[in-house]
Amino acid sequence: MTDPAIPRPAALSVVVRRDRVLLVRRHNPPDAGLWGFPGGRIEWGERLEQAAVRELREETGVVATAGEVLTALNVIDGSSQAIHHHFVLIAVRCHWQTGDGIADDDASEIGWFTPDEIAAADHQTSADVEWLARLALAPDGR
């Protein structure tokens, strides 16, 4: 049994397709109803890159190859007295291969967005989505 009072590692699939990234509208907590990158928990014995590609395929049907790690983010939901979720999200740049995507599993909608379109979404995205999209699309990845 896993101790529930420890952070959970999860992979984020930051899929790049030309000048756009793939976002999903999250169906479940944390961040239910907000746009963010596909992703989820890393399974026991699974490599980070495998988790990013698997979660992407499960949530959207999109096929991609995993590239480099872009960054890691903390997502802590709750207060210091009552933390409900604590995830360490490891963002992996993924290179699109095939598929436009279909919302499935943890996603209620999907779409391909430019960073400017993400910025215009005005509080309908999870934290750091625009910044991470710009990072993934930068020619040098920085």
Which tens digit of pLDDT belongs to each residue from 71-111?
999 988 887 788 888 899 999 999 999 999 998 767 889 99
SS (H, E, C) 91-106: EEEEEEEECCCCCCCC
112: three-class secondary structure by DSSP: strand
The answer as to whether 3 is a domain residue is no
Domain enclosing residue 86, as ranges: 8-137
- DSSP for 30-44? SSTTSEE--EEEPPT
Residue 128 lies in a domain: yes
Place 3 in a pLDDT band, splitting at 50, 70 and 90: low
Residue at 1 is within a domain: no
pLDDT of 33-49, one tens digit each? 999 999 999 999 999 99
CATH of the domain at 51: 3.90.79.10
Q: Is residue 2 part of a domain?
A: no
Domain count, the chain: 1
Say if residues 118 and 40 touch (Cβ distance below 8 Å). no
Nearest to 52 by CA among 98, 61, 41: 41
- What pTM was estimated for this model as a whole? 0.90
CB neighbours of residue 47 within 10 Å: 12
**125 within domain boundaries:** yes
- What is the residue-averaged pLDDT of the chain? 91
The answer to whether residue 77 sits within a structural domain is yes
Within-domain flag for 142: no
The verdict on residue 80 lying in a domain is: yes
User: For residue 25, what are the CA distances in angstroms to 62, 63, 67, 69?
Assistant: 15, 18, 23, 22
Average pLDDT over residues 50-70: 96
